[in-house]
Amino acid sequence: MADLLFPFAPIRHPHRLVVDGRIQLDAQEVEALRFRQVNVSEAFTLADSGGRFFRASLQSLGPKGGEALVYEKMERSPESPLSLTLVCAVLARQRMLLVAPKATELGVTRILPVITEHSVQASGLEHEKAHAWPNAVIRAARQCRRSSVPEVRTTRPLAEVLAGETWRDAQARFYLDDRATATARLQPGPGSVCLAVGPEGGWSNAERELLQRSGAAPLALGGRVLRAETAVIAGIFLVQYALGDLGVGE
């Protein structure tokens, strides 16, 4: 699982869990549940000391502790083994409220919204309800039974994000481009990937050059020009299928 900082990381109980067992929650687990907006009698996902994932029902919640009832062992991990960072140009007409939850369902680790030449500009973020993106991700994480919550970072200019540590430290970097004349081959191996997706209108020539100079390889999704939100979902699926846990038989 990707390196995540508290409270975004999967909730991990320090002991082995068993179905029908009652467990005491410490202060950090309580804080993580509050971050996920889990209320008493609601379900949540957590891992035990052996790395197995379970579903539990929150029985009580206090300032420094709580109690939960474990009721189901999950047969497969709800967390992708791939650390996938989505660098997404801010889309107009509040479509980030669609993209962010879908990216969460498909297993992204973090979302880095960026300002590009053809994207919504910084002055339009309030209209696009940027303040609501993190809560949309939290709700999606709960609905798809994830234990972790993708981090939604503050919107930044594309050049600033490409110069940042998350982009530089990724083991592989790709960008979707319908104008690409060649497409990168996705070979299993990297444990951390950054995927950049532009807005409707695409990347400018200067942005393409910047992406390439920063180590990104182009990916093309067939011969059709996709709507921006479709491209985001298709691009994430492609990467998770080739490098993550969406492949047949995984």
Alpha helical stretches, state H, 46-154: 96-105, 133-143
pLDDT, tens digit, 9 for 90 and up, residues 151-187: 999 999 999 999 999 999 999 999 999 998 888 989 8
How far is Cα 154 from Cα 125, in angstroms, rounded to an integer? 11
Q: Is the pLDDT of residue 196 over 90?
A: yes
pLDDT, tens digit, 9 for 90 and up, residues 9-56: 999 999 999 999 999 999 999 999 999 999 999 999 999 999 999 999
Query: Within 10 A of 155 (CB to CB), how many other CB atoms are there?
Result: 22
Q: What is the pTM of this model?
A: 0.96
Domains of the chain: 1-75 (2.40.240.20), 83-243 (3.40.1280.10)
How far is Cα 85 from Cα 240, in angstroms, rounded to an integer? 11
How far is Cα 137 from Cα 111, in angstroms, rounded to an integer? 10
Q: How confident is the model at residue 136 (pLDDT cuts 50, 70, 90)?
A: very high
Q: Is the pLDDT of residue 249 over 60?
A: no
Q: What is the pLDDT of residue 250?
A: 44
pLDDT, tens digit, 9 for 90 and up, residues 51-77: 999 999 999 999 889 999 999 999 999
DSSP string for residues in 212-244: HHTT-EEE--TTS---HHHHHHHHHHHHHHHHS
Q: What is the pLDDT of residue 3?
A: 65
Alpha helical stretches, state H, the chain: 27-35, 96-105, 133-143, 158-162, 165-169, 205-213, 228-243
pLDDT, tens digit, 9 for 90 and up, residues 76-87: 999 999 999 999
CB neighbour burial string for 162-195, b if at least 16 within 10 angstroms, e if fewer: beeebbeebebbbbbbbeeeeeeebeeeebbbbb
Largest CA distance in the chain: 58
| Distances, alpha carbon 61 to alpha carbons 12, 31, 33, 172, in Å | 17, 10, 9, 41
How far is Cα 215 from Cα 199, in angstroms, rounded to an integer? 20
| Distances, alpha carbon 75 to alpha carbons 53, 105, 129, 169, 224, in Å | 8, 18, 37, 32, 38
Q: Considering the chain, what percentage of its residues have pLDDT values greater than 70?
A: 98
Residue type at position 235: G
